[in-house]
Each structure stands twice: as C-alpha cells, then as structure tokens.
Amino acid sequence: MGVYDEAEANDRDLHLAFMRKALEQGEEALAQSEVPVGCVFVYNGKIIGAGRNRTNETLNGTRHAELCAIDDILGNRTSNFSHVGSDLEGSNSFSESSPDDTILALYPPSMFEHCDLYVTVEPCIMCASALRQLRVRKVYFGCWNERFGGCGSVLNVHADPVGNDPPLQVEGGYCREEAILLLRRFYMKENSNAPNPKRKATRVLKTTDLDTSLTSRDDRTRISSTQVVDSFA
Ligand SMILES: [Zn+2]
C-alpha cells in the first residue's frame, strides 16, 4: 500500500470512528423510543456537539438530530452529551472551561465552515438546508433516506444552485448497515407495541441482506424496499 492509500485508509478509519459516536447517539434515541438517528459535529479532530432525534419527547417536528446538535453547539444544550471538545479517546481540550462555556465563546459562528458532521442517516430536506446555510464543511452520513433525504435521495438541497451558499459536500455509506439495523430495531419495537398490529408487524429483523462494504448510492435501492426510514432524519 502506497503512502497515499495509507493516508486514505487512516481517514476512512477516522470517519468510521466518528460515525460510531453518531450511532451511540442513535442508540440513545432508540432507548427513548425516538426514531433512532444520531450525529456528532467534529471540529479540528474533536467532537464539539452531539444530537439525537427528540421529536416525540418535545412534540416538535423540527427537533431532528442535526438541529439538536447545532443547538448543542450554540449553547442551548438539550443533550446529555458531556464530552464536548473530546477526541475519540475522551481527552478534553476544553477542560479548563466552565460547564456553562459554549464553543461559540471560544470560536466565532464561522467555525461551522471548518466543521464536519457525522450523521447516521442522510439529512432530510430541512436539515440539509440548515447545514448548507451554516456552510458546514462536509457531511458524512450512514444510510440514505429514501422518503425525505435532501442530499440526493428526494431533492438535491446540498447541490442545487440556489441562494448564495456554496454547495454542501456530502458522502454517504459510512456504517450504513449499522444505521439501517438501528432503524429496523425501532420499527420492530414500534410495530410490536401497536394496539392493532399491522401486517408489517410480522416482519423479522433482517440482518443478512446488508452489503457490508461502503457502497455508492446506486446500491441503496436494494434496501429501500424495507422502508426503514420514516422521517426525522
Ligand atoms: Zn432532518
């Protein structure tokens, strides 16, 4: 493996490691009976904000993981995430700050231009627009959102030539199978709790038909028939 390939492999490992942190947020959402979508924002190699879907808890359809994480960064904390500023090993570069300090006290709003977002599901149209307006540097996501995705699945909010904001860089497929399984676990649970179980309640948790490699979006059609993504991404 050449030096270039090695660097690329290291980058991929790093992306996967941050995506696993996003999946932890998704697990927290699942534990609270929310559609399990989670995310983390990374600045300069450190996680500076995290979020998970909270639409049921708040009865507010805008409380998607990405917007909760943005609020987290802006100081309006909604998450229990206590490792703001932590790297993957947990060391905290902001440890000298008081708990009330926000990242914005240390960095200007333009810092989003230097942030990457790791989110388990392709951002929806609403979130894609918000992320583009904040000029987030790049979005890495897990699985595609066939019903509401704003980064290529339904609309191309990330790339359409509208407004003054530059295109949002996006790349999907990181931990895709884990992200899908998380959603499937939610819908299995939801169906089993329904007073009048629908036909799909008989669905079993499929773990065998997932491609384990990072794939292009052309491969997504094979999993979309399961309709695992409802909304809230
Ligand atoms: Zn969204």
Tens-binned pLDDT, residue by residue, of the chain (233 aa): 456 688 888 899 999 999 999 999 999 999 999 999 999 999 989 999 999 999 999 999 999 999 999 988 887 555 555 545 566 766 554 434 444 455 566 666 688 999 999 999 999 999 999 999 999 999 999 999 999 999 999 999 999 998 889 999 999 999 999 999 999 999 998 877 777 655 554 555 666 555 444 444 444 433 443 444 444 45
Q: What angle do CA 13, 16, 18 make, to 5 degrees?
A: 110
Residue 6 CA to ligand 1 center (angstroms) comes to 34
Whole-number Å distance, alpha carbon 61 to ligand 1 midpoint, is 9
- What local confidence, expressed as pLDDT, does residue 222 receive? 39
79, 81, 87, 89 alpha-carbon torsion, rounded to 10° = -150
Dihedral of CA 194/200/204/208: which sign?
negative
Residue 233: name the closest of 18, 27, 24, 39 by CA: 39
Q: Radius of gyration of the chain from Cα atoms?
A: 18
Which domains, and CATH codes, for the chain? 10-76+108-188 (3.40.140.10)
Give CA–CA dist 105/172, Å, rounded.
32
Residue 89 bears catalytic tag: no
pTM of the shown model: 0.78
The DSSP H or E segment spanning 132 is helix 125-133
Of the residues 28, 34, 66, 178, only one is catalytic, namely 66
